Amino acid sequence: MNIKAQKGTKDILPEEIENWHFIQKAAEEVFTKANFKEIRTPIFEDTSLFERGVGDTTDIVNKEMYTFEKSDRSLTLRPENTAGVVRAYIEHNMFRQSPPLKLWYFGPMFRYERPQAGRQRQFHQVGVEMIGIQDASADAECIKLAVDFLKSVGLNDLLVEINSLGCSECRKEYKEGLKQAIKPFLNDLCEDCKSRFEKNPLRILDCKNESCNKLFEENNLKEKVSGIKLCPECAQHYTKLKEYLDILNIKYKENTFLVRGLDYYTKTVFEIKSNNLGAQNAVCGGGRYDGLVELLGGQSTPAIGWAMGVERLNSLIPQIEEKKLDYFVVSDNQPEAIKLTSKLREHGFSAEFDYNTRKFTKQLEKASKSASYAIILGEDEINNNYLTLKDLNTSEQKKLKFEDLIK
């Protein structure tokens, strides 16, 4: 029997883990500075949380969820984490704290998608949620935080795209206009778009199907439907966001066709793209979801957040070399070697020894691959209570006492 990892899942191997630690540490540092606290919610939830919270007209709920039954309950592996965080917010009465509540998370998500470059079935997201603030300063802070985080891992060549979807009132008229423009070629669109037409026409603009995109171009759809006409309140919110972004020196592009895949967005939506990612070029997506807390049973509460694909992010970062050990103990005396190694570790150094007593030359070969220094512990060293320290870079050697070494 030859069992392999499931299609669309990947082992993260020891030689790749430095990058993951680097990204995780950067997240913790940047978010903590901005007063965001980490939250860890379960990987599976009640299926209805996502049906309600993500929306039953989305691709995620319609075809991408890993759902299973256990003791008559329908459970689903989380396809995203905003719904879970909002569920926890309501369940633990976090609204009692004075707003905003600023949270971040890092963890695996699951979507049954067609695996391809930049698209897996188990992937990771790092994200933030800022709950309780209506003012556009929160939107700007969230976008700034994403940019700061990306910069902290060394990414500068990024494109921030923003749009406002307004409120349900603003969208009404727009949806009608969009439907009128699409109607003439509706029959030629994909099955998904046909069903979106009635349920959520806005989402047709988010279609990933190439033939649909070709039809949009041929029919000048994008010229026919200009952006959503915002009501005065939504328009003011959007203007304020842009002012804040200018104050924060964040360059952005307005994209009136940016609608995002999820149902719960209101007002601000944004994406951050990288030119180096190819077709799957979005690394970060987010937006405001003022209706979600209430939809999931809480009090009406404004909120905004974003999520980033960690695999996509990682593919933009050069591979970080594995860290070398401080010391490798080379000896043909196992008891002395294991004792010295553990003493070094107790004193805060990373250390290893050879579990097989092999020739010193073999051990030194292994040492130079994995450590900065070799500590040679031969018969003379043991009898006269000293160590020989060998710098594996320069091959310089010197004799010294253990006490001097740890100084």
List residues near ligand ATP by CB under 6 A: 80, 111, 113, 118-120, 123, 125, 261, 280, 282-285, 307-309, 311-312
**Token duo for residue 211:** 């033939």
Taking the complex as a whole, the smallest distance from the CB of residue 149 to ligand ATP amounts, in Å, to 13
- Closer to ligand ATP by CB, 285 or 302: give it: 285
Taking the complex as a whole, the smallest distance from the CB of residue 31 to ligand ATP amounts, in Å, to 17
Taking the complex as a whole, the smallest distance from the CB of residue 126 to ligand ATP amounts, in Å, to 9
Closest-approach residue to ligand ATP (CB)? 309
- Which amino acid, residue 321? E
Taking the complex as a whole, the smallest distance from the CB of residue 360 to ligand ATP amounts, in Å, to 48
- Closer to ligand ATP by CB, 201 or 287: give it: 287
- Closer to ligand ATP by CB, 144 or 203: give it: 203
- Closer to ligand ATP by CB, 13 or 279: give it: 279
Taking the complex as a whole, the smallest distance from the CB of residue 95 to ligand ATP amounts, in Å, to 25
Write the CB contacts of 317 (distance below 8 Å, at least 6 apart in sequence): 19, 22, 23, 153, 154, 155
Taking the complex as a whole, the smallest distance from the CB of residue 109 to ligand ATP amounts, in Å, to 7
- Closer to ligand ATP by CB, 113 or 148: give it: 113
DSSP character at residue 316 = T
DSSP character at residue 62 = I
**What Å distances lie between residue 54 and 42, 94, 138, 356, 395, CA to CA?**
17, 21, 22, 56, 60
- Closer to ligand ATP by CB, 111 or 288: give it: 111
Burial of 107 (C-beta count, 10 Å sphere; 0-12/13-18/19+): middle
- Closer to ligand ATP by CB, 123 or 373: give it: 123
Tell which residue, 192, 265, 180, 252, has the closest CA to residue 219: 180
Taking the complex as a whole, the smallest distance from the CB of residue 27 to ligand ATP amounts, in Å, to 14
Taking the complex as a whole, the smallest distance from the CB of residue 155 to ligand ATP amounts, in Å, to 13
> For the packed helices 17-33 and 136-152, what is the interaxial angle rounded to 10 degrees?
150
Distance CA 118, CA 339 (A): 47
Distance CA 212, CA 10 (A): 31
Dihedral angle sign, alpha carbons of residues 109, 119, 103, 166: negative
- Closer to ligand ATP by CB, 16 or 326: give it: 16
**Token duo for residue 278:** 């190819």
Taking the CA of residue 86 as centre, how many other CA atoms within 13 Å lie in the half-sphere pointing to its CB?
30
Geometric angle at alpha carbon 63, from 267 and 79, rounded to 5°: 60
